[in-house]
Each structure stands twice: as structure tokens, then as C-alpha cells.
Amino acid sequence: MWEVEDIKEACDRIERNTVYNAFKYCQQFFSSIMAKEDLIELYTLFECKKLTWNAMSKAWDAAFSGRSLSSEENELQKILKDRAKKETWATEYFGEVNCLALYHELENRSFREILPYIRTHYRLNLERLFEKYEYNPEFVETLFSLCEMRMKKLEKKRSVTPSQIEILHQVLQEDIFARVDSWAALIEYVTLLVPKDASENSARNIHDTDNLYDALMALQIIRYEGRKKYPISQITTCSLCWRVADTSNAKKKDKARCHVHLYEKAAERPARKKAYERALAVTRKLRYAHSSRSRLLAALTKFFPYDEKIIQIRLDHWSWWEYEPPQSVWPICGDPVFTDGFWEALPHVARFLRQQGCPLESLKAIIEAMMPLDSSADVQTAATYERWITAWTNDIRYFLPVMAHAEAWLAIYEELYPSLPVDM
């Protein structure tokens, strides 16, 4: 068998490595306790790049079946199970798109290790960049001003002048995106990339970059979930849809439900059992729509001025408003205009609002129609709610996660119950 210090070192190394490096450190333990055929199966998965944490965890459990574990062995087992659990969640997050290879490539890497990997395998795409910033004249003006300055410097040196496209790429890489120094900035940067070695098929190019985006989002969410706090606000997100729920009416804050989806009968309020059951079915299926919802949110942000502070809404933190004080949301510059393209990206939400006679040009009307507060709410809850109505109206970009969540939810509801109106 092995020394205690050996397994302690293995635990430490597995904590800090990808699944493939972890397997290398575990080989000596596996080879001494496993049946030969089980070991060969793991080696086969390793060689063809299909090894998973789940496979390693199951192999470990099988090898130790029927015997008690030492404290060190038990610690290693916990680590493998934890990695397997995160991997299972990531698989559900990706849905039908297989991003596990990228997930395994990037997991447990530090930010400083991930960025060089991305810059080695991906490049900026000008079409994506100008599409994203077409509504931000300040960015475009700054970009071309830097290009002009660089051109003048080259002319003074009387050196061979690169083409305008080459200068544009130099400015983007060396001036605009020279410092990608946070997860938020990295996520933003990735939306502008395509693979360096991609084929001519542009659809596949975008799909490949979306895989990278999804893999990074999954890793960021897993990191966030580990330090998730309880809502500080008295209102929270309904556990079965996107609406507002009062935490004082729930046994657990993460199980609070809006007035539309209350299962139990309350004072002067009937039980909504059928609505509850339908919403439960939608929520179960919504678990597999994370990546499409993230992409929709990314698409919605392009219709508004870019601000690095607002990037937090892209980290899949759909209930961010439960944790951040509303005073930190300052009015957006200028009145936002909802274009036809914006509502085309949210067809189910647009229909939902029109059915209620909601004017699609009124920020407050949209927010109140989508996030109605129960008429029985107490004074304190109503006051908290009004503060958030003001915050969202000040900057509608902070409300985009709610709209993306509602669009995904309503689409699934229509798929499951095509002949039934949405419960209200």
C-alpha cells in the first residue's frame, strides 16, 4: 500500500488540477486496489480524452467496496465525489451541447492560466466586435482615434506601413484589450472571439466560441455557488418562475413562491395547485436551458450602451438584486429605446406583455407587469419592492436577466401546455 503522506499529496494535487492530471496522480493508488479490467477501462478513457470525474469516482467506490477507509482515503473520496457532482451540474448546464472537453481543459486553472490558453487558440473577430459596439459611438470613436494615432507614429518613423486592418488588430490587441484582468472582462472578451484554426463554416466558428463561453460561465457559476449568500432583501425570486416572492411567507428563502404559484391555501387566497404543478414541470425542464438563456442575455445586452460595471448581469446571477443595495444603481444616460430587434429576441415575453395590455415603450409598466407584487404584501415588503422598481427603471439593463429568464420559462411553458394561457 501507500504512505499516508502520498495520499495527502494526491489530495492536494487533485484539488488543484484537471481530471487528466488528477488521474496521473491517482494511478499508483488505482493500480494497487483496482481490478485489472477496471483499470484498463480508465486508461482507455484517458487515452481517448473521454475520462470524467464521474468515472474516476465510481471506480474508486468500486475498488473500496466492502472495506473501511482511512481518514486520508475518505478525504480523497470526498474530493472525487465533489468533482463528480460539479461535473454533473456542468453537463446539465450545457444541455445538448457537449462542452465537457473544454470544461475539463479549463477547470481548476487560475485566471492567469486561462487567459493565455484562450489567446493561443482564439482570435478577435471584427464582425462580432462592430456588431456588439454599434450602439456605442464612444467606443468606435476611441478605437479609430487610436488607429489614427498609431498610423501617424508609423509615418513619422518612415517605416513600412501595415494595412488598415493590421493596424486595427494591433490597436485592439495592444490598446483596447491589452488588459483583461477580471472574470467579468474575460467573459466580455470571449464574446468577440472565434477559433484561430476554425473552418470556413462561420456557423461552426460561432458555435465553437459559444462552447468556450458556456464552459467559462459554468466554471464561474460553480465558483459563485460555493459562496452564495441568503437574500438580504425581503423580496426574492419565486422558486418556480421569475416573479417576485415574499420571503416572510416561506420556510426557506430559496423556496419562496410568488402569489401565482402558492400551493397552500392562505387567508383570503385560494390554493393554486394546478398552477403550481405546471410551474414545477416547467422548472424541471428549465434546468437544461442554462446555456441558451446565457446566450440570450448576451444578445440582449448589445441593444444598450456598454458599461463594464453592468457586466455582472452576464455571470448568470439571475437574482443579483436580492443581494445588492438599490442605491448602487444609477440612472442610465439617455432614454433606452426598445427596437424591433430587441422584442424579436424576446417573442414570448413580448406576447405575455401585450396580452396584459402593457405598453412596450414604458419601462415601469414592463417591470410591474413582469414582476407584480401580491396585493396582500405588507408595508415593509411594498416599500422594498418600490425601491427596486425605481432601481430597475433607472437602468433597465439590470432587469435584462429577469427578461431572459422569463423568455426561457415562457418558451418551455408554451411547449408543455400549448393550449393553456400562462397562469397569472
Q: Residue 14: is its pLDDT beyond 70? A: yes
> Does 209 lie in the same domain as 74?
no
More confident site: 12 or 235? 235
> Does 362 lie in the same domain as 246?
yes
Q: Residue 134: is its pLDDT beyond 80? A: no
Domain boundary residue, one of 41, 65, 94: 94
pTM over 0.75: no
Q: Which of 35-44, 87-96, 219-228, 338-347 is predicted least confidently?
A: 219-228
* pLDDT for the residue 365: 92
Vertex 190 angle, CA 186 and 193, to 5°? 145
**Structure-derived torsion over alpha carbons of residues 274, 275, 278, 281, reported in degrees to the nearest 10:** -110
> Does 403 lie in the same domain as 330?
yes
> Does 289 lie in the same domain as 198?
no
Q: Is residue 103 part of a domain?
A: no
> Does 240 lie in the same domain as 378?
yes
Q: Residue 198: is its pLDDT beyond 70? A: no
Q: Is residue 100 part of a domain?
A: no
Is residue 202 very low, low, confident or very high in pLDDT (cuts 50, 70, 90)? very low
> Does 171 lie in the same domain as 49?
no
Q: Residue 201: is its pLDDT beyond 60? A: no
Percent over 70 (pLDDT), the chain:
81
* pLDDT for the residue 411: 94
Tell me the sheet residues that pair with 237. Answer: 244
> Does 58 lie in the same domain as 34?
yes
Vertex 84 angle, CA 80 and 86, to 5°? 120
Mean pLDDT across the chain:
79
Domain boundary residue, one of 180, 199, 225: 225
* Spatial distance between the Cα atoms of 301 and 294, rounded to a whole number of angstroms: 11
> Does 360 lie in the same domain as 309?
yes
Q: Is residue 214 part of a domain?
A: yes
| Average confidence (pLDDT) over 325-335 | 63
Q: Is residue 230 part of a domain?
A: no
Q: Which residues are CB-neighbours of 71 under 8 A, at least 6 positions away? A: none
Q: Please report, in angstroms and rounded to a whole number, the separation of the first and last CA atoms in the chain.
A: 64
> Does 347 lie in the same domain as 386?
yes
Give the residue ranges of DSSP H helices in 229-321: 273-286, 290-301
Is residue 349 very low, low, confident or very high in pLDDT (cuts 50, 70, 90)? very high
Q: Are 285 and 95 in contact (CB under 8 A)?
A: no
Q: Is residue 240 part of a domain?
A: yes
Q: Residue 334: is its pLDDT beyond 80? A: no
Q: Are 25 and 13 in contact (CB under 8 A)?
A: yes
> Does 344 lie in the same domain as 252?
yes
What residues make up the domain containing 88? 4-94
| Average confidence (pLDDT) over 192-205 | 65
> Does 197 lie in the same domain as 63?
no
Q: What is the pLDDT of residues 53-112, one digit of tens each?
A: 898 888 878 877 777 777 777 877 888 888 888 888 888 878 767 788 888 888 878 888
More confident site: 272 or 369? 369
* pLDDT for the residue 225: 64
Domain boundary residue, one of 165, 195, 225: 225
> Does 263 lie in the same domain as 220?
no
| Average confidence (pLDDT) over 388-410 | 88
What secondary structure does DSSP assign to 314-376, as a single string?
GTT-TTGGGTS-GGG-PPPSS-----HHHHHT-HHHHHHHHHTT--TT-HHHHHHHHSPPPTT
| Average confidence (pLDDT) over 201-223 | 73
* pLDDT for the residue 414: 94
Q: Residue 235: is its pLDDT beyond 50? A: yes
Q: Is residue 99 part of a domain?
A: no
Q: Is residue 30 part of a domain?
A: yes
* Spatial distance between the Cα atoms of 247 and 42, rounded to a whole number of angstroms: 47
**How many structural domains are present in the chain?**
3
Q: Is residue 102 part of a domain?
A: no
